[in-house]
Structure 1
Amino acid sequence: MKMERIFAANLDEVEEGKFLTKTLGGSKVLLTKVNGQVCAVENRCPHLGLPLAKGKICDGAVTCPFHGSSFNLLSGENIDWTNAFIGMPMPGWTHKLIALGKLPQALTTFMVECEGEQVFLNM
């Protein structure tokens, strides 16, 4: 499968600690900066496919607003898996119930290239 280089945004549109939501190459994408580095992830939590755009960004990670799973925004690595319900923290014994049998998964990330003042994704 051939990767396509797609213009995503102007560099000044991508802000630290905030998501810029785009639909690119048929995928819903979130762009942000982590310590000045532009990153792009799919706007879809791998737990149930719900959007991450309203998730909290903290220390380079996003937390799903629905079930509390958190992911590293640069690598996509899962940090925590299903520890909340509709944003409310739940006791540890409920975490496997909330997961609905799904094992922790990484968030889909996209390769970012900055060229001058423009941001491109390889998709």
Structure 2
Amino acid sequence: MAGQIIASVEEVKENEFLVREANGKKILLSRVDGQIAAIENRCPHLGLPLAKGKICDGVVVCPFHGSSFDLLTGDNIDWTNAFFGKALPGWSHKLVALGKKPTPVATVAIECVDGNVVLRQD
């Protein structure tokens, strides 16, 4: 096997996070409609942990500033629309963004091999 085992397939649950560390990065694993998703546990806005956020319909919402990301693709869905869970008026979104533009969250290349989730070594 070429990659590092980071979890068993059975440990990864639908709509729950499993946090692992590999190659110096903290990784979030979850299932979206049965498919295993892997992203960095780091919001691209300020680097805060996404594992404290909520999952809804395959999207994780950062609990600190409300940015949301597709768990399978990493795509940014919404950018800095809240402050610690409290919705903000539209005029303030750019202030909370601190000049940072909407950015996707980094995805992590994985594959399932023999009942394990394996970090791919591309």
Fold similarity call, TM over 0.5: yes
Q: What residue number does 1:33 align with? A: 31
Q: Shift of residue 111 of structure 1?
A: 1.3
Q: Shift of residue 67 of structure 1?
A: 0.1
Residue 92 (structure 1) aligned to one of 69, 87, 90: 90
What letter is aligned with 2:109? Answer: M
Q: 4+ runs of 1 displaced by more than 3 Å?
A: none
- Measure, in 1, the Cα distance between the counterparts of 2:59 and 2:13: 14
Matches for 1:97-112 after TM superposition, within 5 Å: 97-112=95-110
Unaligned runs of 5+ in 2: none
Cα-to-partner distance string for 1:9-61 (whole Å, 9 max, x where unaligned): 01110000000011111100100000000011000000000000011101111
- Measure, in 1, the Cα distance between the counterparts of 2:115 and 2:64: 34
How many residue pairs align between the two structures? 120
- Secondary structure of the corresponding residue to residue 66 of structure 1: coil
Q: Shift of residue 116 of structure 1?
A: 2.5
